[in-house]
Amino acid sequence: MNSNSQPIKLFLVVAFSCTSLLVSLILVPAKSISASSGSDAVRGASRREGGLRLRSDLKTLAQGTTFNQPPIPPGPPPGGRVRGGAKRGTLGCPLTKPDLTAFVPFTEEANSVINVWGQTTLERPSWFFYVPYTKDLPYVVEFVLQEDPESKNSKEIYRKAIALPDKSGVIRVSLPTTAPALAVDKQYRWFFSINCDQQENSPWTYVEGVIQRVNLSQATVKELETAEPLKRYAIYAQKGIWYEALTTLAELRQKNPQNAALQAQWRNLLGSIRLDDVAGEPILPRTP
């Protein structure tokens, strides 16, 4: 009896050990999968919540946000060119559709004079241009900024050679920290120019306008400090601060390239200054 019971006990111990090991091997991955699934679910819920909040904010903006273009400041009108104006059969850059375009508000006066003018609150703002030409073309491109735009002795304070992009689209030109800061309540004239035929010494194709730095009220500045990007965009648009409104919305679009509501808001903003024809052009990545 005792001699037979020993093998049975040994068998039971081995069987129990194997069973325990098998259960542990099954349960540990199950816990890992459960924890991973829970983490994925939280991340998914967070993304969905963020997406819903973005759509909700955009719906509110679409219903009440318009760009309030401020009046031209006193003094000589700024003038300028919002389109490059290349023409078929003339020297210079070839005709394209759309043409070289500055993303800036403009007005057309009764005497056919166009005024290209906008406000910023920044010492070093950014400009956006639709460029129809690409880097495979041997064209020279420059951005120039001058102070005292109405003076005969206008002083150039910044000049930058611009590399043409890989494909046609909207490029961003920012004033760097090495350039003088814009002064408050002072006007500056900018030029974005392309020379397409250097050997023939043909005229440059260019756009130009005037920018003025202004201060916002302390209450508005405080509101901007805590506002989400979409709210900041709405504040700038309502206050007539073109350059920050455009830059804020452009950055949002680049971070959310597939968001249809942001694309619609972008079209609305450009449509409000009659630049519908370039509203669908891609915003290209910033070059180093």
CATH (domain of 256): 2.60.40.10
Q: Which amino acid does the sequence have at 220? A: T
Does residue 155 lie within any of the structural domains?
A: yes
- DSSP structural state of residue 174: E
- Helices then strands (H, E): number in the chain? 5, 9
- Structural domain total, the chain: 1
Whole-model pTM above 0.85?
no
The mean per-residue pLDDT over the stretch 118-134 comes to 97
The span from the CA of 4 to the CA of 161, in Å, is: 97
Does residue 273 lie within any of the structural domains?
A: yes
Which structural domain range is residue 272 located in?
101-278
Percent of the chain with pLDDT over 90: 61
Does residue 257 lie within any of the structural domains?
A: yes
Residue 206 pLDDT exceeds 90: yes
pLDDT digits (tens, 9 = 90+) for 246-285: 999 999 999 999 999 999 999 999 999 999 999 999 999 8
Does residue 78 lie within any of the structural domains?
A: no
Does residue 13 lie within any of the structural domains?
A: no
Residue 69 pLDDT exceeds 60: yes
Does residue 73 lie within any of the structural domains?
A: no
Residue 57 pLDDT exceeds 50: yes
Between helices 260-271 and 242-255, what is the axis angle to 10°?
160
